Amino acid sequence: MSKEHQVLVIAKNTAGIGTRILALFNRRGFNVTKMTSGITNEPGYARITLTVEADDRVLDQIQKQIYKLIDVVKVKIFPEDNVVCRELMLIKVKATAATRSQIVQIADVYRGNVLDISPTSMIIEVIGSVEKLRGFIQIMETYGVLEIAKTGITAMSRGEKI
């Protein structure tokens, strides 16, 4: 049965490493739904978190294929537990003078930050699990969602190990 998994890739931070990883996924027919990347605490290395939909067999193949790329140093499939996953979302919603305070109160419950207010809309930043962001979107739909931008999932194992 296919489900969503987070895959950590540590690679040398060379030009085009993200493109090469995604090209590998394209060639093999693997499905990447989200991708985040950034620097690591080790100079010269990048940390890439991929969200993939796969069963156990395909997940094993993904891991083996990524390891074949020259600049890849480590590949890890995050377990369902002992991992912290977060996603950042900016959401622009319709807001009037009458609804603005309600929207701010709801954002506070979700620990969201109001980043911008205009006469007809608001932009709110929310960080959390996919479920938390989905719940916030559902509530904001009653006010009118104008735009959504999400970063993709960033994940890290609990404890000292990578």
Closest CA relative to residue 47, chosen from 80, 78, 24: 78
User: What sign does the CA torsion over 149, 11, 83, 22 have?
Assistant: positive
pLDDT computed for residue 68 by the predictor: 87
Confidence of residue 151 (pLDDT cuts 50, 70, 90): very high
Task: Classify domain 84-157 at the CATH topology level.
Answer: Alpha-Beta Plaits (3.30.70)
CA distances from 98 to 94, 104, 108, 113 (A): 11, 12, 17, 19
Q: What is the CATH number of domain 3-77?
A: 3.30.70.260
**CA dist., res. 95 & res. 27, Å (int):** 45
In this predicted structure, the answer to whether residue 161 has a pLDDT above a threshold of 80 is no
pLDDT computed for residue 46 by the predictor: 93
In which residue ranges of the chain is CATH 3.30.70.1150 found? 84-157
pLDDT digits (tens, 9 = 90+) for 84-97: 999 999 999 999 99
Confidence of residue 111 (pLDDT cuts 50, 70, 90): very high
pLDDT computed for residue 29 by the predictor: 84
In this predicted structure, the answer to whether residue 60 has a pLDDT above a threshold of 80 is yes
Give me the mean pLDDT over the 58-63 stretch. 88
Averaged pLDDT score across all residues of the chain: 92
**CA dist., res. 62 & res. 121, Å (int):** 42
pLDDT digits (tens, 9 = 90+) for 5-35: 999 999 999 888 888 888 888 888 888 889 9
Flag whether the pTM goes above 0.85. no
